[in-house]
Structure 1
């Protein structure tokens, strides 16, 4: 990663009446109109707060939809994340880049600087939306995309939230793009995951899931330690060409040794076998379990090492530091920000040792 000396400036303008409406209820998902200016280009937008628990933070995160023109730089909408609870501001980007290097479809994440009505709001992480434009940019086949919106996206017939049998196999998911037929494919997959006998499971699951890509996604969660990642923080994409589902990561700030509150998380907190019904059934198959073990071993030698990750961490840290110093919400925490590369590197060392010590469980 190259050192960044400048960041794109996003100037947002919201009429005072609309801004008051936006602030009146932070839990309201209805957007208000606004204007965004980037490099002298004017864009009419709709803007709303985004996230769940993060809406309570002083520095808000935003969802922006382009209205006129409808497409800007190949996107119809973007997400501006404050990364407020991550003292490094780097964990989400580090994670999504890491997933991409593991061969998983992953959103792009880049830093921008934001002003609202002329007032500095500071440094933000712009996250690419996972939608039909996301697929088109990667020359992927068209297909359905489902967002996992709560913990019921657990690949199970049982509800994590209600602790009883689900009333619908689509619970936990919100369709971003796709057809009614795609709803059936999602229901069919979840039904088969939970009902196919062990003797037929290996053959049946490969008709629904790209298992190799699923294992890469699983490895990504396990290395970054996103505790919520197994039943949340992801999207499902079903390729119209292969007919197979694969998983796309999303919202990975609570990783690399810190939890959603920004507190230190023990390096052995997330087990290498992961969680959720689908993971348990896949790893119950010796062939898949061996492939997963080999993937972990290879990643421990290549991507998940201090030699490989530390230069990336330091380049990001140095690149965004000047902008953290001018961020009204973060500049007073600069000493903590400067300690974070060591926290992340210490996590990598301890997590690598833990994973190595647990590999025997997959034999």
Structure 2
């Protein structure tokens, strides 16, 4: 992590700064300093990614691709008389989330996949084997989206099904939480313009379904409304971008860069359980996990200098860009999930690739429960060991701020307006007609105001980030009964300005802390123990204060039976109390 602009301003280091800048300038002029071309258009797979390089995609993959054109997808769901393997109905598939918590083990149906126009399917290569035979399968996709009334789907084309724009997997996302219906499209359109990340092709799709498992369908296609297809990140997508498709690719499911020894094992370990492994990281590439586990061992080895570990395994521009765009887009769902880690074959480097932005770009302001302060800036990533170790260094925090300023020249209100203006004709037409109108979540008259809020949303997140730099970092709470006493402990917080911090311990019988059983405003240690509490339910928290008046709450939260969330609060139940 060598960034001359952030070196200390002593005379000796100033000379070193000049030397390093001269060397950097000289290296940049050497034709063989980097094996990958600085011009993505001339990049080839042979020179795509080397261990010391920045992540560069071949932009030619987007030539001729216009995601704002509405694509019409037609699927025919065969009944069991035509396809014996289809022993459930399409309705059963949509209801399967009640039985299968892990959708990868859920049911699939054989279907016929076709494309066409608003008038119907066309003879376009997908029906060369006849309209009475399947060429694809369909299944539910998404974790939270499977609970929505309108489902999202994953379609996998079979070998005889051809490819759709060079892709064998079609992700049809309903984005039930997105009133604008364009957040993913906007994010991935921006990624095409941002260096050190790769984007994914996106399309607006109107889905038409002929459900032959439903006798009332009368064998006719029915519109399921507007979807957004986001290209599946897999070997095909990597190869199309001139990147090595044979490396390691993991999708973060519940991953905070800890070692997770009970779940993340070597593939040859007798205790290796792929299902448990994929509860943390979903495997989308090479199933040899040696490189991943070595990286995690080193990240969690506090005896090793972090700068050396980071420089061994990560490319800083990619890492900072990923962090910065998630902050500028307000993507609060990225502390431990919703991104990919990619490592090319024969490389120790790991690159961050973004994924899923329908909970970004203003979604936080639409939530009825709001979000805690630590979700509004740099604190969001403090709960992940890699980010925490990196951001503790003031130079690194300054580098992140510099990257946010750099990207703010690309992510502008003017550019955002131009992009969402190009989406508007297709999106408004379909969003304000059935079946989508009934599930939009707002009145039709509110669509335009909600849509136009996208223009200023990144400016708001940048302002939030700048304010967050002044606030202490959140902490985790821990309670246990030990030797007949109740022991409350918590982590030490951190302040980027090295302000003096104090901790306020509070204990209450209600999660809203309307009245307090115990309050210690300046607890000197990171623990408090007391005589055992009587049986019952209790709630506690620790507020972190700096000497400039800023306050932070813990990462913990409590959700009551009515679904109300109390941020920064931990519930404890002393045995023998009421179960209500």
- Do the structures match in fold with TM over 0.5? yes
What pairs up with 1:322-361 in 2 under 5 angstroms? 322-330=429-437, 333-358=443-468
Corresponding residue number in structure 2 for 1:122: 225
CA contact (8 A) 2:259 2:297 kept: yes
Q: Could you list the runs of 5+ residues in structure 2 that have no partner in the other structure?
A: 1-64, 81-85, 117-121, 128-134, 211-220, 266-276, 471-494, 498-580
Selected match of 1:9 from 43, 58, 72: 72
Offset of residue 265 of structure 1: 5.4
Decide which structure has greater helix share: 1
* C-alpha distance in 2 between matches for 1:238 and 1:327: 44
Corresponding residue number in structure 2 for 1:49: 140
CA contact (8 A) 2:376 2:464 kept: no
Alignment of 1:191 with 2:297, yes or no, is yes
The 1:356–1:299 alpha-carbon spacing in structure 2 relative to 1, beyond 3 Å, is: farther
CA contact (8 A) 1:9 1:112 kept: yes
Classify the secondary structure of the residue corresponding to 1:101.
Answer: coil
Q: Deviations over 1:102-141 (max 9, x none)?
A: 3212322221111001000011000110100110110112
Classify the secondary structure of the residue corresponding to 2:378.
Answer: coil
Alignment of 1:78 with 2:149, yes or no, is no
Corresponding residue number in structure 2 for 1:313: 420
CA contact (8 A) 2:314 2:349 kept: yes
CA RMSD of aligned residues (A): 2.8
When structure 1 is superposed on structure 2, of 165-174 and 242-251 the one drifting more is 165-174
Classify the secondary structure of the residue corresponding to 1:231.
Answer: coil
Q: Deviations over 1:204-227 (max 9, x none)?
A: 222212222011111111111111
Q: Which has the higher contact order (CA 8 A, sep 6+)?
A: 1
Alignment of 1:145 with 2:249, yes or no, is yes
The 1:4–1:77 alpha-carbon spacing in structure 2 relative to 1, beyond 3 Å, is: closer
CA contact (8 A) 1:102 1:220 kept: no
* C-alpha distance in 2 between matches for 1:231 and 1:255: 15
* C-alpha distance in 1 between matches for 2:372 and 2:194: 20
Corresponding residue number in structure 2 for 1:88: 180
Classify the secondary structure of the residue corresponding to 1:230.
Answer: coil
Classify the secondary structure of the residue corresponding to 1:191.
Answer: helix
Compute the TM-score of the two structures, normalised by the length of structure 1: 0.86
CA contact (8 A) 1:91 1:253 kept: yes
* C-alpha distance in 2 between matches for 1:146 and 1:21: 30
* C-alpha distance in 2 between matches for 1:352 and 1:277: 24
When structure 1 is superposed on structure 2, of 189-198 and 106-115 the one drifting more is 189-198
Corresponding residue number in structure 2 for 1:179: 287
What pairs up with 1:90-109 in 2 under 5 angstroms? 90-103=182-195, 104-109=197-202
Q: In terms of Rg, which structure is larger?
A: 2
Selected match of 1:36 from 105, 113, 127: 113
CA contact (8 A) 2:66 2:203 kept: no
